[in-house]
Amino acid sequence: MKAVIGIGTNIGDRKNNIDKAIDALGLVPYINVIRCASVYETAPWGYTEQANFYNTVVEVETTRSPEMLLGVCLGIETGMGRVREFKNGPRIVDLDLLVYEGCESNTENLQLPHSRIGERDFVLIPLKELYQDMNILGFDYSEEYENIIENSTAKII
C-alpha cells in the first residue's frame, strides 16, 4: 500500500533534520520511500511565537499497517530527540501520517486521512507537487488547495 507522510521541523539545522527523517524512513524494513516533494519554508501554525518551519511530504510504499506506520513515525521523532512540551510548539522533527491508501480511521490515536490536511498550506502545497490533480490516494483535496493557495506565504527553499 502507499501512504503519505508529512515532515516538519523548526529547531536546529532544519534541512538536515528533514533529510535525516527521510533517510530513517528508508531504513525501516517494509517501507520504501518512493518520492519526495520539495522542502518549503512556512510560518508556524497554531502557536506563532517560534521560528519558521521547513516542511515536505513523502510518498512511501509499505506492507506495514497504518498503526505500525504511525508507530514508526513516532519512533523516528523520538530517536531524533523530539520533546513534546506543548501543542504546536517548536520541534526538532514532526512526522504526520497524512493518508494511507484505502484506509479511513477516526480513533483517538489515528485519524486517516489526517483531520487537518485541508487547513494547512505547509501540507497542501508540497502535496500538489506529488499529486497535480490533488487526488491523494483516493481522497480529493483540490477544493481545499484552491481555497488556501492565494493566502499562502510558503516558499520553496
Distance of CA 124 to the CA centre of its chain: 10
Domains of the chain listed by start with CATH number: 2-156 (3.30.70.560)
pTM over 0.75: yes
What digits encode the pLDDT tens for the residues 2-26?
Answer: 999 999 999 999 999 999 999 999 9
Q: Which helix (H) or strand (E) holds 142?
A: helix 142-149
CB 61 within 8 A of CB 34: yes
Catalytic: 96? yes
Catalytic: 91? yes
In the set 14, 91, 120, 121, the catalytic residue is: 91
Catalytic: 64? no
Catalytic: 82? yes
What digits encode the pLDDT tens for the residues 41-99?
Answer: 999 988 888 999 999 999 999 999 999 999 999 999 999 998 888 777 789 999 999 99
In the set 64, 94, 120, 121, the catalytic residue is: 94
Look at residue 135 and tell me whether its pLDDT is greater than 90: yes
